[in-house]
Structure 1
Amino acid sequence: MAQQHLDPTDPTAGPSPTGDALAGYLRAQATEFLRALRQHRETGVAASNGREETVDAARALRRSVRRVSGSLHTFRPLLETDWSETLRPELAWLSGTLSMEHAYAARLERLLLALHRLSGATVFPVQSAAVVGGRSAGADPVPLKGAPGPAGPPTATPAADRGNLTVGAAKAGALLERQLTLARTRAHSTALQALGSSRFHAVADKIAVLASEVPLTTTATTTDLRPLATAAEERLKDAVTALPLVTAGSPYNAEALIHGLSPDPAPHPQDAPWHQVRLLLRLHRYARETLYGTDGPIDVRLLTAGQALDRHRDASEASAAAASAARTPRIAPATAYALGVLHADQRHEVEAARFAFQQSWQRQAVSTS
């Protein structure tokens, strides 16, 4: 495969961006964090009346935390080592803690809608209000545009099996709703405890200082940011090169179902490299924002690849939730059958997302070779 250059043109024909650009970007993200935190505190006490505003504030908190954390990782040679290395794991903790509640809500909606689509039964209860601001890019169970959807074995169900699926789908939906709602409730409590903890206040204090003073090294203001940003891009391209894109060239990968409902609850072994590519793609995007500004040119190709990988992540996690529910002791055979079909459906969604990413990435390679 030819090496692709994700930014074939230089949108900044002026002076090289230096540590001053990094400082400006970090100050802007820290300011956004403080603004979102204030909004969250103002609306969080009245969730029934300000639910949408609260979710928006939580999303803004996560967005700014991810960008600060990503910048500390990519441009760490330009930042005071002790300060950045202490703050980075705290930002990772905060981002993960704040994201779980909405992840569980979006996962539940995805699985219930998939059960409805597969069984043709009455619409299951969907907590649409609860997932506003959640993983919107990945919560949509509709197949990727231009890619084969999960129309293989999960939906081509014989009439007799269709009856079993319809019977078990309602109970499967109820089981998933109990399990994921409980998980979401626990995640909500964990997030509330975290936001009131001394650990969070210490992080917030550091970000508040960051809004006015960025601890750069003495040489940062004269150091070109582009080599570090290029290194982030190269790490992404190396990770993509290591992906099994030949397998992903087929919309259905039967090997991906081998580990499906096995007793081993570990994550699917094929998914980890794709999740890593998704994280590296995000770091590359944030590096571009640092160089060119948040109002700089948008690379549509990066957006397309990122959407495919977001859907891959969501389908992967949904399939794991279905497999976990299928291991529940003493469930009815029809319920277990419906959960097995649901798991297979989401694994095919995973393959459809990989196929879409592969198609997009190889088109980039051809266009820039």
Structure 2
Amino acid sequence: MYRRLARPLLFRLDAEDAHHLTIRALEAASRVPAWPALARRLSAPTDARLSQTLWGQSFASPVGLAAGLDKNGVAVPAFAALGFGFLEVGTVTPLPQSGNDRPRLFRLPSDQALINRMGFNNEGAAALHARLAALRTRDVPVWVNIGRNKATGNDEATLDYLKCVRALQGVADAFVVNVSSPNTPGLRALQAADELGALVRAVVQEVEAGRVAALRAPPVLVKLAPDLHPADFEASVGATLEAGAQGLILSNTTLSREGLGHPHREQAGGLSGQPLTLRSTGLVRDAYRLTRGRVPIVGVGGVFTPENVYAKLRAGANLVEVYTALVYGGPGLVRGLNRGLSRMLERDGVRNIAELIGTDG
């Protein structure tokens, strides 16, 4: 029904208008008494082979929601009801900001892709804390993606990340340090090994300080771009682990336009979707080789099919995330990925997805 009815109507709207309309509908659905819990019982994965425990947290499915779709955490119950194993909200910054000028979100249907230059538009850390704290129950882990405000220079960026940690440590199940968005000027310079190591070390220390104050101690993950030179990627991964990060997310959007056919390929911003499928899987494989599986890896970029999930797991990912595929595939996507993955595990005689991780070497 989504592809035949809802998507054609949504795709007649400006891409960002359609996004806001969808989020408002999911926010309203989240407030309907008993609906999210009922829907979750119908959609939640029940195949024990899909489950795993990471950082002391239970994941019923390896499929999660990537950051950027629910920046302000307004629709957590509704997204959980779709069958996700975990959710990532944000990117959130210490202070509210409006982001870049519109238009700033573009569909490329012929390429099954999106280009965005949103610029961390969000309502700020205090508003997100209030929403997450108000949740009565959490059906899945909720991660928080953190960044710096546009007006903050890189010389003071660490302070912004620490402000986010202080504001949200009591409600976040994990922190994702976002230094890889191409839409905040200068942000990607923080991926350089020395700068990244210092930033991550400070964030990890802040989380540890919160642990002493009896707050939860969520793991810290780092999200990297797909556009790093291989030597720089290796150095950044090494610096991230040395600084104490407990996971990697690979990867963010790309500035590459290779192979695109849609006229919107000329738009500035980060590209997501199917053009990143092979590139992001390759980065997962590289990171797994570099880390020797010492920390969990989250694969994101071009996950449209169960086969895409399977490939990322075999490359070394413990979890995967989707965003663009949800725009094109609709709310049934997650259930389809979980069911398809179960069939592939049955076909190959795999007892648990943990057996797959890194098997492509």
Q: Which has the higher strand share?
A: 2
Higher RCO, Cα 8 Å, sep 6+: 1
TMscore range, shorter length:
under 0.3
Q: Which has the larger radius of gyration?
A: 1
Q: Which has the higher helix share?
A: 1
Provide the TM-score with structure 2 as the length reference.
0.26
Provide the TM-score with structure 1 as the length reference.
0.26
